[in-house]
Structure 1
Amino acid sequence: MEPGDERGGRWLREIGPVELLRRLRASDGTAAEALGGMTPKRLGAYRLRAGRVEPERDLTAVAEAGGRFVCPGDREWPSQLDDLGDARPIGLWVRGRPDLRLWALRSVAVVGARACTPYGSHMAATLGAGLAERGWVVVSGAAFGVDGAAHRGALAAGGATVAVLACGVDVAYPRGHTELIGRVVEQGLVVGELPPSEHPTRSRFILRNRVIAALTRGTVVVEAEYRSGSLVTARDAQRIGRFVMGVPGPATSGLSAGVHELLRGEGVLVTDASEIVELVGEIGELAPRRRGPVLPRDLLATATAAVLDALPYRDSADARDVARAAGTTVDEALARLYELHSLGFVERGGEGWRLTPRPTRGEDTRRGDT
């Protein structure tokens, strides 16, 4: 069966894999006809495929590649894939030492454009490294562009990453990522729905995205045009109740147009790994509070700041004028002026008070800018 075959998934749910294979392989075809729900021509295509299946050969091939086959009911099966209903994978071929189920429990997908910009590549690598440093598994599709950058970021941080392929796990695709996929096998996991030696097709790439979405706690889209497989992943994630996030880009960039459309809907804007973890993580995993630099004037009491604001920018003023402008008494104004003097904000010249000159030209000393 092809990935995402809901009709086949329904048969598996209703009669189980052993009985389904027996019916499809029955010599007279009457048992297969009892399955129903399709034309004789379509049923014939299933029977033709079933007759050519060699499970032992596939299991031997994946074992020789250092891999294994994981299916529903196995201890290593990630149960969150069951959220796909009848479209869930029949099983997953896996290469790598870690436990897929345990890794999937704390994982985030980072996806985006293949022909990404330097900004997109930078953001994907930064997010991959940041998530890995926080103990999260980075999941992506091993494609050129954003996918590859996310994997490399996680690997560079010594973290965990999973590549979900649209082909056999013993096939390095794209060929230009042969070395990268090899590194992922050594340090993480490579998984796929298709048996060993199977090659990708356009439809398989699209259907692979639902696995990425279901396997993880949330999906982050870094760059994507209006028509993008990354947005398919985001929609799949949204449909099954996963978090959907997007990294904003320039409003003039076509590669950010799809992300911005996502953010106008249900997507959540994120800019770094801490913001992602705050959304998908446990209670208390909060991003740091964002604020600008604290200036000396920000630390002044309200009454003191009012007296500082009452002083003229260039000329000096006596305590009575300052008190009138600040709306306070002369004694209170004097007390605040001496406080400001000790802090270096003002200086006294004869009977008047003036702002302390700052070395930076054109600077607003009243605000304490630097």
Structure 2
Amino acid sequence: MGGVTEQVLLARALLSRVAEPASIPVWDAVRKRGAVRVAAEVCRLAEATRLDDTESFTPEQQELAKATAARVDGADPGADLEIAARHGVHLVVPESAEWPHFTLSALEAAGVRRLRTWNAGKRDIAEYGEPIPPLSLWVRGGGDLATLGTQSVGIVGSRASTPYGSHVAGDLAAGLARREFTVVSGGAHGIDAAAHRGALAVGAPTVVVSAGGLDRPYPVSNAALFDRAAAQGLLVSESPPGCAPRRHRFLTRNRLIAAFSTGTVVVEAAARSGAMNTAGHAQRLGRPVMAVPGPVTSTMSAGCHVLLANSDAPATLVTSVRDVVQVIGRIGDEAADESRVPKRGTTLQQALDELDPATRLVFDAMPARRAVRPDELVRVTGLPLPTVLGALPDLETRGLVVADGAGHRLAPSDRNAAEH
């Protein structure tokens, strides 16, 4: 733990149990006096509240007690740490070397700005979740939390995604993961799951930011996906073991997805949705927001179109891995992409010789004269869907196939070669 004392761990574990994530009074108190002193103070205030002895409370103590007193009785931070350890989970705190200071710097600045308005009397808690840094993070997996956010991408969208949306999310995630972007999402059904699986399919890490305790994967049906994500990347939550995901916890969780991501891509989203909430957090943090257009008749793409049409801060329209790299990539990334496209004079056979066996199998299954969707390629090749989704962006960036609204088709020169 890099010299972090047990006293600090217990204090921050207690605060994560008794306070909701993104609590302004608790975060402000910890900034001023440190976690150990605030944890002890919270316990004293809870006892005074239980005895109805609150007349001597200062306004700050009143707010602190209001945010924490109801859950102090029965809180056992030592037990929380033990239960977490049994599930392969450990608590990361700002005092440790593992804390992602760089990643959370924008959220820290936003929290300071919000604190000014709070102290000026604006005490209404925002329904969308306050932009306050976490007090601590419960983490499972072997990924590097400290460097998360230096090159990462949030991919979010509807739980009730369409085949189009799931395909695009998996396609983007696999292609970006191949370019060493860490894919961040929320572990839900639909777009989130497709994004995580796209990254995992190419052997890359992915980060799941959960709204509940990591001992209880939510949704339960994605438990195997969570295990794979922990094996190759990280599971992260503000909530201690046993905490159930609630609506407001999803909304506050979304600020972490935005903070952990260099930029956020919304693939499919209703006009009012969690993905739109994540995009709003990203905009408040000054992070790029991108959106994938969809059919004008689809309610699942309505949110994307709202983001693109926003006259004040429009999202960037993206349709490919290259589009996303142009927005959030490092200098030279686009040139690296170009280097993978067959140069004039490079033969088709030379390009195919560079493919791994699975990607070559997908290419060989491409029809000569029409576009094909991933599910058809699965039937023809016998490969799992994640493998197919991982191969398509590689073929696309090599200039061997192109994407269109119907799926993928051979690039013109390769179509001609296939016909002769």
For normalisation by structure 1, the TM-score amounts to: 0.74
Q: Aligned with 2:250: secondary structure?
A: helix
Residue number in structure 2 paired with 1:57: 79
Determine the C-alpha separation between the residues in 2 that align with 1:230 and 1:104.
19
Question: Does the CA-based 8 Å contact 2:149-2:259 persist in structure 1?
Answer: no
Residue number in structure 1 paired with 2:316: 268
Give 1:102 shift: 1.8
Q: Aligned with 2:146: secondary structure?
A: helix
Determine the C-alpha separation between the residues in 2 that align with 1:11 and 1:2.
14
Q: Aligned with 1:109: secondary structure?
A: strand
Question: Deviation digits for residues 132-177 of structure 1, max 9, x if unmatched?
Answer: 1111100000100000000010011111100000001111110111
Relative distance call for 1:44 and 1:208 in structure 2 (3 A) is closer
Q: Aligned with 1:101: secondary structure?
A: coil
Give 1:284 shift: 2.2
Determine the C-alpha separation between the residues in 2 that align with 1:17 and 1:31.
22
Count of aligned pairs between the two proteins: 288
Relative distance call for 1:251 and 1:89 in structure 2 (3 A) is same
Give 1:28 shift: 4.1
Residue number in structure 2 paired with 1:281: 329
Alignment equivalent of 1:180, drawn from 222, 225, 234: 225
Alignment equivalent of 2:59, drawn from 36, 40, 48: 36
Q: Where does 1:124-135 land on structure 2 (aligned, <5 Å)? A: 124-135=169-180
Relative distance call for 1:100 and 1:33 in structure 2 (3 A) is farther
Alignment equivalent of 1:69, drawn from 70, 73, 91: 91
| Counterpart code for 1:25 | C
1:6 paired with 2:54, answer: no
Determine the C-alpha separation between the residues in 2 that align with 1:202 and 1:261.
23
Q: Aligned with 2:265: secondary structure?
A: strand
Determine the C-alpha separation between the residues in 2 that align with 1:77 and 1:32.
39
Relative distance call for 1:164 and 1:105 in structure 2 (3 A) is same
Where in structure 1 are there 5+ consecutive unaligned residues? 290-370
Greater shift, 102-111 or 76-85, is seen at 76-85
Residue number in structure 2 paired with 1:16: 34
Determine the C-alpha separation between the residues in 2 that align with 1:14 and 1:33.
20
| Counterpart code for 1:263 | L
Give 1:36 shift: 2.1
Residue number in structure 1 paired with 2:358: none
Relative distance call for 1:13 and 1:127 in structure 2 (3 A) is same
Question: Deviation digits for residues 114-142 of structure 1, max 9, x if unmatched?
Answer: 00110000000001101111111000001
1:84 paired with 2:107, answer: yes
Relative distance call for 1:249 and 1:223 in structure 2 (3 A) is same
Determine the C-alpha separation between the residues in 2 that align with 1:44 and 1:52.
17
Relative distance call for 1:14 and 1:224 in structure 2 (3 A) is same
Greater shift, 109-118 or 13-22, is seen at 13-22
Higher relative contact order (CA 8 A, sep 6+): 2
| Counterpart code for 2:20 | E
Determine the C-alpha separation between the residues in 1 that align with 2:48 and 2:107.
34
Q: Aligned with 1:110: secondary structure?
A: strand
Determine the C-alpha separation between the residues in 2 that align with 1:203 and 1:34.
28
Question: Does the CA-based 8 Å contact 1:24-1:32 persist in structure 2?
Answer: no
Give 1:255 shift: 0.9
Alignment equivalent of 1:106, drawn from 134, 137, 151: 151
Question: Does the CA-based 8 Å contact 2:99-2:145 persist in structure 1?
Answer: yes
Alignment equivalent of 1:162, drawn from 207, 215, 218: 207
| Counterpart code for 1:61 | I
Determine the C-alpha separation between the residues in 2 that align with 1:32 and 1:75.
41
Q: Where does 1:334-349 land on structure 2 (aligned, <5 Å)? A: none
Question: Does the CA-based 8 Å contact 2:90-2:140 persist in structure 1?
Answer: yes
Q: Aligned with 1:139: secondary structure?
A: strand
Question: Does the CA-based 8 Å contact 2:22-2:134 persist in structure 1?
Answer: yes
| Counterpart code for 1:69 | L
| Counterpart code for 2:176 | L
Question: Deviation digits for residues 309-361 of structure 1, max 9, x if unmatched?
Answer: xxxxxxxxxxxxxxxxxxxxxxxxxxxxxxxxxxxxxxxxxxxxxxxxxxxxx
Identity %: 44
Question: Does the CA-based 8 Å contact 1:275-1:286 persist in structure 2?
Answer: no
| Counterpart code for 2:107 | L
Where in structure 2 are there 5+ consecutive unaligned residues? 1-18, 112-131, 339-420
Residue number in structure 2 paired with 1:118: 163
Q: Aligned with 1:191: secondary structure?
A: strand
For normalisation by structure 2, the TM-score amounts to: 0.65
Give 1:94 shift: 0.4
Residue number in structure 2 paired with 1:316: none
Determine the C-alpha separation between the residues in 2 that align with 1:84 and 1:102.
16
Question: Does the CA-based 8 Å contact 2:25-2:67 persist in structure 1?
Answer: no
Greater shift, 18-27 or 147-156, is seen at 18-27
The two structures, once aligned, show a CA RMSD in angstroms of 2.1
Alignment equivalent of 1:150, drawn from 169, 191, 195: 195
Determine the C-alpha separation between the residues in 2 that align with 1:38 and 1:73.
24
Residue number in structure 2 paired with 1:255: 300
Relative distance call for 1:151 and 1:45 in structure 2 (3 A) is closer
1:226 paired with 2:271, answer: yes
Question: Does the CA-based 8 Å contact 1:107-1:216 persist in structure 2?
Answer: yes
